[in-house]
A and B are shown apart, each in its own frame.
Chain A
Amino acid sequence: MSSLKRIYLACRVAIAELNLRNYLLSVSILIGSFILGLLVNNDSNNGVISVLRKEYLFWDPQTLNITIAIAGWISGLIISGTLYNNWFKEENQTIRTLTLPLSNAERFAAMTLLYFVYAPLTTLLPPLLLTMAACMMAPEAFILPAPVYLWEALIIGWLAHAATCIAWLFPSIAYGKKVGFVLVGIIGAVILYLNLTYSTISDVANIPYTATAMLDQSVVGLSDQSFQLSEAPRTTVRVAYDPDQSLYPFAQLVFALMMLAAAYFALTRKTT
């Protein structure tokens, strides 16, 4: 039997162990938020206008994309959590998984396919398809964005799902609840990084709004109700610096290496 066949068999077993309700999660969340949209009396700035209080429902593309991405992300995590529970949560499940005749590489490939491809697709595609179908069939009172604007949800949702899985999944298999401390540490490091990349020093200060203030040489900026002077006394204004463009690929490389290392420890671990 080839490796591909064994990977297929492992995925088939894991998928067969999932309940139908797992596949309905994201659609349920989307429909739930839709119903909530019908009930709330929101303004058009937030993208949703209620048909109950107003005359029609409008869902702008950005709002719907984010709603689909969040619905997919939450349900993707629930499916990933179910897969994790089925295969690793208890001692006997771990024994079953680690004695299943697969090489470590095949086990890794099967899990990668399940967690990073199958779970996000099964949670992001149904709400996307549902929205597309709704767009074509909805009465005129419902204004939904055209499907062409909704592909963004797939990307955003997948990225959110993948990032969460990288930080949580394989490390949890390898080290169990100890991973919680590491995650708190990562969040702390991110907060520290954001703090360090903000300047609190500025050499501009606001002056009251006047009609001729812009004519002054020392005026360097304009805000809602005031102008800014360059030679005014220093004051504290938080300014974010754009990080170096190479930071993102570097961070992705670090995360990928961390995932591989965590996967190695997860799949070569002993039982408890």
Chain B
Amino acid sequence: MILQANSIHHNYGSGQDILNGVDLTISQSGITGLCAPNGEGKTTLLKLIAGLQFPSKGDISVLGQTPSDRPLDLLQRLYFLPSEPFFPKWTPRKIAAYYGPFYPNFNNQLFLETLSDFRADPDKPLDKVSFGQKRRAQLAFALATRTQILLLDEPTTGLDIQGKDQFRRTLIAGTEAGQTIIIATHLLSEIAPVLDHVLVLNDGKIHAHLPLELAQRFYSFNLTTSPLPYGDKGYARRVPGGWLTVHADGRQGNAAFDLETLYLALTDGGLPQPGFDLNTKNFQA
């Protein structure tokens, strides 16, 4: 088991739980998108997985270990890139030389290649480059650690189109090497093409945990000229050219699968979710 969280509760001392009974299981490597409205606990959940916050109730196991103990073996196999990480004002090359050796699987060649693909200069100090360049260097380092679990908080912020494309390609290469990557983001459309699963966090709980491939089979998307009639159990969203509707009916739609619309349908629209049998990999009736 890669990650197992049972009935996680967490608060920051204000009394109200920001996470209110999170149950989560990730048993296979792949890329998981973690989506939630602002302030609903995406970063907190990543911190709990990384052992930087401790749950007030419940327990988490990551690679068979308790993250809050911060065991060395786990820290070597897990890398957490916050949305605004602290990196020294060095060149990326120097950062890799000093911080890379802490990670047993750190691949300096991959780091330099990713930097090159990101069009980031390995010899330019990070205090002399733009925010986007800095973010690319941070991402290149995170990807080069080759840790078994990679936690990325809003990774695509500051990346241009080429940067995002390269980022997605590197993620795919990572999962092919057996990495489990959890990406917390608001910008679902930017990472949707590479996601294997999507986690929707709402009201302090995991509202939905969907394998994307099967979600594409379960939900139908249609572009219509009018909103849904009264009594229709689907969800409609105003888009240029009409309304994009989502139904949990397993039919073929006339529009492409849209993750952001599905997210809205699940959180705001209360669209039903499929029951999914992990063993048979099929939806339950």
| A contact residues vs B (CB 8 Å cutoff) | 1, 6, 9, 12-13, 16-17, 86, 90, 92-93, 95-96, 98-104, 106, 268, 270-271
User: Which residues of the partner chain B approach A270 to less than 8 Å between Cβ atoms?
Assistant: 52-54, 68
For residue A271, which residue of chain B has the nearest CB? Answer: B52
Distance (Å) between the CB of A86 and the closest chain B CB? 8
B57: interface (CB < 8 Å):
no
Q: Which of B18-26, B80-88, B201-209 contacts A (4 or more CB under 8 A)?
A: B80-88
Does B224 lie at the interface of the complex (its beta carbon under 8 Å from any beta carbon of A)?
no
Docked-complex contact B70 and A9, CB < 8 angstroms: no
Partner of B75, one of A13, A95, A102: A102
Q: Provide the residues of chain B in CB contact with A101, threshold 8 Å.
A: 72, 75-76, 102-103
Partner of A100, one of B68, B71, B102: B102
Mask: chain B, 54-79; 1 = CB below 8 Å from A; 0 = not: 10000000000000101110011011
**With A and B bound together, what is the CA distance between A268 and B51 in angstroms?**
10
Known interface pairs A99-B75, A101-B75, A102-B72; A1-B80 also in contact (CB < 8 Å): no
Chain A interface, >50% SS class: helix
Q: Is the CB of B75 within 8 A of A9?
A: no
Q: Which of B53, B88, B90, B101 contacts A271 (CB 8 A)?
A: B53
A128→B47 CA distance, assembly (Å):
46
User: A12-B98, A99-B78, A100-B75 known; 13 other A-B pairs, CB under 8 Å?
Assistant: A9-B98, A13-B98, A13-B99, A92-B82, A92-B85, A92-B86, A96-B85, A96-B87, A99-B79, A103-B72, A104-B70, A270-B53, A271-B47
What are 18 A-B pairs with beta-carbon distances under 8 A? Answer: A1-B101, A9-B98, A9-B101, A13-B98, A13-B99, A16-B88, A16-B98, A17-B88, A95-B52, A99-B78, A100-B102, A101-B72, A101-B75, A102-B102, A270-B54, A271-B47, A271-B52, A271-B53
From B68, which residue of chain A is reached at the shortest CB distance? A270
CB-CB < 8 A to A100: which residues of B?
75, 99, 102
Cross-interface CB contact of B71 among A17, A103, A271, cutoff 8 Å? A103
Q: Which residue of A lies closest to B50 (CB)?
A: A99
> Is B39 part of the contact surface with A, judged by Cβ < 8 Å?
no
Task: For the complex, give the distance between the alpha carbons of A6 and B73 in Å.
Answer: 13
- Name the CB-closest residue of A to B147: A101
Find the B residue at minimum CB distance from A17: B88
Residue of B nearest to A100 (CB): B102
A90 to B82, CA, bound (A): 13
Minimal beta-carbon separation of B40 from chain A (angstroms): 19
Q: Is B270 an interface residue (CB 8 A)?
A: no
Does B37 lie at the interface of the complex (its beta carbon under 8 Å from any beta carbon of A)? no
Task: List, in ascending order, chain A residues with CB within 8 A of B71's CB.
Answer: 103
Query: Contacts A106-B72, A270-B54, A271-B52 given: A99-B86 contact, CB under 8 Å?
Result: no
Rank and list the top 3 A-B pairs by shortest CB-CB distance, nearest first: A92-B86, A101-B75, A103-B72
What CA separation (Å) do A103 and B76 show in the bound complex? Answer: 10
B261 to chain A, nearest CB (A): 34
- Chain A residues lying within 8 Å of B47, measured Cβ to Cβ, are 95, 271
Whole-angstrom distance between the Cβ of A11 and the nearest chain B Cβ: 11
Question: Chain B CB within 10 Å — which of A9, A16, A99, A106 has the most?
Answer: A99
In the bound complex, residues from chain B placing their C-beta under 8 Å from that of A95 are 47, 52, 80, 82, 85-86
Whether the pair A90, B102 counts as a contact (CB closer than 8 A) is: no
Contact flag A98-B99 (CB < 8 Å), given A92-B82, A271-B47: no
- Measured between alpha carbons, how far is A16 from B70 in the docked complex, in Å? 25
- Residues of B close to A9: CB separation below 8 A: 98, 101-102
CA distance A9 to B97 in the complex (A): 10
Closest to B53 in A: A270
How far apart sit A98 and B69, CA to CA, in the bound complex (Å)? 11
Interface centre among B52, B68, B71, B88 (most CB of A within 10 A): B52
Interchain nearest-CB distance for B28 vs A (Å): 24
Cβ of B102: which chain A residues have Cβ within 8 Å of it? 6, 9, 100-102
Residue of B nearest to A10 (CB): B102
Q: A106 CB to closest chain B CB, in angstroms?
A: 7
Cβ of A209 to closest chain B Cβ, rounded Å = 69
Nearest opposing residue in chain B for A93, CB measure: B86
* Binary flags per residue of B97-116, CB closer than 8 Å to A gives 1, else 0: 01101111000000000000
Task: Report A-chain residues with C-beta under 8 Å of the C-beta of B75.
Answer: 99-102
Nearest-neighbor residue (CB-CB) of B54 within chain A: A270
**Whole-angstrom distance from the CB of A65 to the nearest CB of chain B?**
37
